Amino acid sequence: MANLSNAPVSSWDLLQLNLRFYETVTQNAERALADDKLDVKSFFLLATVEELKHPAALAQRLILPKPTVTFLIKKLEQARYVKRKTVTGDLRRFEIQLTQLGRKVCERGRKIMSDAFDASISLFTPKEREQYGELLKKIAAFKKVN
């Protein structure tokens, strides 16, 4: 990795730093998530179910293979955090719904992840935190058009 003192940082270096940051946040949250029988992937799937109810859409959003999503859904079903509901008019398709217990666990998980994130950016000044948020919003709004 390039010297980060005053040298320009390459795109590759930024990507690697971003991945390390994500890894740090998730590692700091894993032990607490395990109390609810969740790992990081399961938690993010659970947290996305209200927005995207179909396994294929969940796989695409979470950048996970479809078989992995199927496996995670089965784990979440066994824990009674989600349930499957067949789609009216197409018995081959189903959607995932959070249960009441799943909502409670999801809220705890969001708090755990938020606390881990806050700890990871605790050295930011309020201005740097605001700038970081603005940069992330800009990145999220970017859509590459080919």
Q: Which residues contact 146 (CB under 8 A, 6 or more apart)?
A: none
pLDDT given at position 90: 72
Please give the chain's pLDDT, 146 residues, in tens: 545 567 788 999 999 999 999 999 999 999 999 999 999 999 999 999 999 999 999 999 999 999 999 999 999 999 999 999 887 777 678 899 999 999 999 999 999 999 999 999 999 999 999 999 999 999 888 876 54
Taking the whole predicted model, whether its pTM rises above 0.85 is answered as no
Which runs of E-coded beta strand occur in the chain?
Answer: 82-87, 90-98
Task: Give the integer Cα–Cα distance in Å for 27 and 140.
Answer: 24
Dihedral pair phi/psi, residue 98, rounded to 5°: -70, 140
Distance (Å, whole) CA 17 – CA 140: 18
